[in-house]
Copies of this chain bind each other. A is one copy, B any other.
Amino acid sequence: MSISGEAIIGGVHERGAAGSFKAWDPARRDYLEPSFHMVDAAQIDRACTLAGEAFDIFRSTTDRQRAAFLDTVAEQILALGDALIERAMAETGLPRMRLEGERGRTCGQLRLFAELLREGSWRDARMDTALPQRTPPRPDLRYHLIGVGPVAVFAASNFPLAFSVAGGDTASAFAAGCPVVLKAHSAHPGTSELVARAVVEAVRLCGLPPGVFALLTGTGNGIGQALVRHPAIQAVGFTGSRSGGTALMAVAAARSQPIPVYAEMSSINPLIILPHALGDRGADIGKGFAASLTMGVGQFCTNPGLVLAVDGPGLDAFCGAAGEALVAAPAAVMLNQGIAESYRKGVAALHTNDAVTTLARVEHDEGQGGAALFRTSAEQFLARHELHDEVFGPASVLVVCRDLAQLREVVEGLEGQLTATLQIDPADHDAARALLPLLERRAGRILANGFPTGVEVSSAMVHGGPFPATADGRSTSVGTGAIARFLRPVCYQDLPQALLPEALRDDNPLGIWRRKDGALTKE
C-alpha cells in the first residue's frame, strides 16, 4: 500500500497546503519517502467544522453500533498487514516484536471499549421516581452521560500505535460518541496515515458521517494551537512533553469557552526500596530495576527515573547488580533525533552535575541511548530541583536517604507522578502503611514489588496522576476509565417515554445496570 503523504479530511485524502516534511529512519539515519504535506489553517478549520457537524449523528448511534465500529477499526488495522509493521519499524527504530505486540494492544483496546459499550454501565444511568404526593411534588428525573463533543487528539511519539491514531484517546473518544480530529506525530507520519486509512475505511463500512475522523499532518506548534482554539473542539487528549502539554493547557484556558485538556506529560516514577526488602533482595531488585529501566530504550512514560533507598544492608548489592545489568544492556536506537539529542544532553548534565556521582553509564553513538544510573544524597536531591526533572530515556537517579524520616521528606518534595513503586517485605509493612497516604496524593498508580513499566489495559488501571504527570489528576488515559474524560451528565425532568434515550426508558431495553432512587438495579 503506497503512502500518499496527505491529510484525510471528510473521508478524503487531501494534500496539505502549508509546506512539506519527511519522516526520518532513526536506524538507517536517513529520510524516508514520500514527503508529507502540512495542513494549513483552512484545512484545520474544515476538519473541525466537519467533526462538529458529525457529532450529533455519531452520538445518536446506538452503543452497539459504536461497538461494531470500534471492532471494525481493529479489523481494518489488522488488515493493513505487515506493511504497517514495516513502516512503523522504519519510522521508529522499534523492533518487530514490540510493534506486533503494540498492534495487538491497540486492537485489544478498541475491543475493550466495544465491550464496555455493550455492557452499558459506563452511561451511569440514574432514575429518581416521581413523588407527586410529596410537598413540593418530586418530578421524574433521569440522568445519563453523553459525549462532550469533538475531541482533538495529539498522538504520542513513543507508542506509534497504542497512543497514536487509533490509540487509547481515540478509542475512548469514539466510545463516548465524540468525533476525533487527530494531529499525527511528525516522527511517524506514514504509520499514522496507514492507521488513519483503516479508521476511515471503518467509518465508511459502518455508514458513519466522514466528519467522525480526520487526520492532520504537520510539524511545529501552529497546527496544535489552531486545533485547540477551534470552537468546535470540546476536549483535548495529548501525550507528550511537559512543555507541549502546558502550552496546550494555556491555549485551552484562554478560549472564550475554556475546554478540558487531558495531557499526559511528565513523570519520574519513584521506585522506593524499603529497608527489609533492600537487605533481603537488594541484588534481585537491582536486576529487575535495570530491566525495567532499559526496556524499550527507556522510552516509556512509566520508566523508573528515580530510586529512593535508605543507606544500609543491601544497598551495595542493589547498586552492584543494577550497575552490572545496565552496563550489559546494549545501547540502542532511540525513537527520533529530538529524543536522542535530549537524552544525550540530560545524561551529560547529570554526569557533570557536582551533586551526583555516576554509577553506570553506557557509551552510545548518535541517535542511540545507553543506560545511565546516577547517585546522590537526599540533601542534594532536596536542594537541587534539576534532579527532579524527567530525562526521557534509560537514565535514573538513586537518592540515598539517611533514614525513613528523610525518605519521607524526599517523597513530600516530589511532584505528581504516574506511578510510585514500593519494594517491601512483610517487615516493611508498617513503614509502607505510613508512606501510602503520601504516595496516594502524588501518584495515579501504586505498585508493590514490581516495576512500573507495563501498563495493563483494563477496568482498574489508572494511567494518570496529579500535575505535572498529567494536566488533570482526576483522569486516566488507559483502561476503561478513560472514557469518563469525554463525557458529561444530562438530566431529563418529566420527559415523555417516547422522547427519552433508550438507556433511560422504563422498560430498560438495553438491559443495563441503572441507579434507581439511589440503588443499582437491572430492573
Q: Does A260 contact B (CB under 8 A)?
A: yes
Verify B115–A518 contact, CB threshold 8 A. yes
Contact of A460 among B141, B426, B443 (CB under 8 A): B141
Interface size range on A against B: 35 or more
Q: In the bound complex, what is the Cα–Cα distance between A243 and B488 (angstroms)?
A: 24
Write the A483-503 contact mask toward B (1 if CB under 8 angstroms, else 0).
000011111111110110000
Contact of A474 among B444, B468, B488 (CB under 8 A): B488
Q: In the bound complex, what is the Cα–Cα distance between A454 and B135 (angstroms)?
A: 12
CB contact under 8 A between A258 and B444, given known A127-B460, A141-B460:
no
Q: In the bound complex, what is the Cα–Cα distance between A500 and B226 (angstroms)?
A: 45
Q: Does A126 contact B (CB under 8 A)?
A: yes
Q: Which of A143-151, A155-163, A329-337, A398-406 contacts B (4 or more CB under 8 A)?
A: A143-151
A408 to chain B, nearest CB (A): 12
Q: In the bound complex, what is the Cα–Cα distance between A491 and B477 (angstroms)?
A: 13
CB contact under 8 A between A441 and B128, given known A462-B143, A480-B518, A493-B447:
no
A312 to chain B, nearest CB (A): 22
Q: Which of A249-257, A359-367, A374-382 contacts B (4 or more CB under 8 A)?
A: A249-257
CB contact under 8 A between A493 and B141, given known A126-B459, A488-B474, A517-B459:
no
- Chain B hits for A513, CB < 8 A: 520
Which chain A residues have a beta carbon within 8 Å of chain B's beta carbons?
Answer: 55-56, 59-60, 115-116, 119, 121, 126-128, 136, 138-139, 141-143, 146, 148-149, 249-250, 253, 257-258, 260, 416, 424, 426, 429, 432-433, 436-438, 440-441, 443-450, 454, 456, 458-462, 464, 466-468, 471-476, 480-481, 487-496, 498-499, 513, 515, 517-520
A sample of 12 cross-chain residue pairs with beta-carbon separation below 8 angstroms, ordered by A number, consists of A126-B459, A138-B456, A253-B258, A440-B490, A445-B490, A447-B492, A447-B494, A459-B517, A459-B518, A473-B488, A475-B489, A513-B520
